[in-house]
Chains A and B, each alone.
Chain A
Amino acid sequence: MYATTYHKPKTLAEAVELYVNSDEPSYLSGGHTLIPTLKSRLAAPAHLIDLRNIPELSGIEVTTDRVIIGAAAKHAVVAASKEVKAAIPALSGLAGSIGDVQVRHMGTIGGSTANNDPAADYPAAVLSLDAVIHTDRREIPAADYFQGLYTTALEPGEILVRIEFRIPEVAGYAKFRNPASRYSMAAAFVSKHRDGHIRVAITGAGNEGVFRWIEAEELLTANFSAEALEGLTIDASRMMGDMHAPADYRAHLVAVMTSRAVQNLGGTHIL
């Protein structure tokens, strides 16, 4: 790792000021993507601004129709929250399926969502649950937030403060993991909302990162069952292909995981 200077601001204003006034700054949260990146010298920020001590980024609140999670909430804390589990069990299960125990003790929902790794879990929940991203300066609907691999609507220096999920009528999450890395090779988050809208979000597979599978949503709107998806396929040219799985295999997995999510509503199905 190249030399860097660490900062631990206690307020949002202080963090943004540090960012604006520093040469080559980077925000740091749980660090479980950023620190390995720094160790590989793939990035070399001169200043690391740790966001975990800012009070606005902590806490979990559940209302009648929303689950609001602070950006610094660790995966293990989200997974262990009885309130989250009661409101959106698929979201709770998703958090408990990220990485491994030690990773979940450090990694944060804000870090994952700000990084937008194409194989990350949370982006699928954010998109399917029609979440609103609250930052230090505005609110961003999930539909406008994800903009491709590792790319989001966040401006330089903008801080993801909390994520507000809509509580659906029911939701399910199914994931097929790479057996070595435990990252998803294809995962589907399916939600049926109280207004009747169905949202299918796919992560781990698309060559532009997380996306909504509109064709699946249309079939599920007509008939909300796994049978409705029989025969539906997705174009392999939209899929990532790499040493772990070629694009046509990922396309197949997307269809299977979407069916499994529908078959496991109210929970998760992790392979």
Chain B
Amino acid sequence: MSRITIAVNGTPQTREVEDRTLLVQFIREHLGLTGTHVGCDTSQCGACTIHLDGVAVKSCTVLAVAADGSQVTTIEGLAEGGRLHDVQQAFREHHGLQCGYCTPGMIMASVDMIRRHDGMLDEHTVRHELEGNICRCTGYHNIVKAVLDAAEKHRAAHAVAAE
């Protein structure tokens, strides 16, 4: 057992965990934040994607104890004061989901993608960059539209900020 502290969505969380505890188990079972999903449990599907120290990772393939002292953002940490994050809003407007199971991972991967590309994305790049996230319902069509829309908002917001 180890005593670890991980700042999840800005709040330091200290727990005693078995060393074999996966980060996704820590998030879901120890903290009760069940927005992060477990799909394949083999680091293929991306449903468990969260941000670890600012970058998208698959939390089913990280030990919680190895994340001791880190900052984690989950899907629950994106909205601010009841206002959905632009990527969440875009998924809602473009119906970028069907059953919704992959959606938290898709959104966390998309937020990371838009940040890394500073919003400069085209359809080809979005489809390529989502290769670590699997959706079995939508054919990705509306997901890609949502990401492109959110990327455009990101560019516009940063253009305003730069003026």
Interface string of A1-42 (1 = CB under 8 A from B): 111111010000000000000000000100110011011000
Cβ < 8 Å to B, chain A residues 161-211: 181-182
Bound complex: CA A5 to CA B17 (Å): 11
Known: A6-B19, A106-B57. A101 touches B43 (CB 8 A): no
- Asked whether A106 and B62 contact (CB < 8 A) given A1-B20, A32-B43, A100-B46, the answer is yes
Does A60 make an interface contact (CB < 8 A)?
no
Q: Is B14 part of the binding interface, using a Cβ–Cβ cutoff of 8 Å?
A: no
Q: What is the CA–CA distance of A159 and B113 in the complex, to the nearest angstrom?
A: 33
Q: Are A6 and B2 in contact (CB under 8 A)?
A: yes
User: What is the total number of residues of chain A having a CB less than 8 Å from a CB of chain B?
Assistant: 27
Residue of B nearest to A177 (CB): B131
* A76 contacts partner chain B, Cβ-Cβ < 8 Å: yes
> What number of A-B contacts does a CB cutoff of 8 Å give?
73
Contact A101 B66 (CB under 8 A): no
Say yes or no: A102 contacts B62, CB within 8 Å.
no
Contact B20 A2 (CB under 8 A): yes
A48 at the interface (CB under 8 A from B): yes
Shortest Cβ gap from A25 to chain B (Å): 13
Contacts of A31 in B (CB 8 A): 61-63, 66
Total number of B residues with any Cβ neighbor in A under 8 Å: 29
Q: Is B76 in the interface zone, CB < 8 Å from A?
A: no
A181 to B61, CA, bound (A): 16
Interface centre among A38, A39, A101 (most CB of B within 10 A): A101
> Does the CB pair B62–A35 fall under 8 Å?
yes
- Residue with the greatest number of chain B CB neighbours at <10 A, chosen from A2, A39, A102: A102
Are A101's CB and B129's CB within 8 A? Answer: yes
Is A103 a contact partner of B58 (Cβ separation < 8 A)?
yes
What A residues does B56 contact at CB under 8 A? 101-102, 105
Least CB distance from B50 to A in Å reads: 10
Which chain A residues border B57 with CB–CB below 8 Å? 102, 105-106
| Cβ contacts under 8 Å, A102 to chain B | 43, 46, 49, 56-58, 109, 132
User: Is the C-beta of A50 less than 8 angstroms from some C-beta in chain B?
Assistant: yes
Residue B11 lies at the interface, judged by CB distance under 8 Å to chain A = no
Interface contact B61-A4, CB-CB below 8 Å: no
Q: How long is the Cα–Cα vector from A38 to B18 in the complex, in angstroms?
A: 14
The 8 Å CB contact of A5, one of B19, B43, B131, is B19
Q: How far is the CA of A52 from the CA of B41 in the complex (A)?
A: 23
User: Are A48 and B19 within 8 A (Cβ)?
Assistant: yes
Quick check: B58 and A39 within 8 Å, CB to CB?
no
Contact yes or no, B41 A6, CB < 8 A:
no
B33 within 8 Å of A (CB atoms):
no
Q: Mark B90-117, 1 if CB is under 8 A from A, else 0.
A: 0000000000000000000100110000
Closest to A31 in B: B61
Q: 29 A-B contacts, Cβ less than 8 Å apart?
A: A1-B22, A3-B19, A4-B20, A6-B65, A8-B66, A31-B61, A35-B22, A35-B61, A35-B62, A35-B63, A36-B42, A39-B22, A39-B41, A48-B19, A99-B132, A100-B46, A101-B112, A101-B131, A102-B43, A102-B49, A102-B57, A102-B58, A102-B109, A105-B52, A105-B55, A105-B56, A105-B57, A106-B57, A181-B44
Q: Chain B interface (Cβ within 8 Å of chain A)? A: 2, 18-20, 22, 41-44, 46, 49, 52, 55-58, 61-63, 65-66, 68, 109, 112-113, 129, 131-133
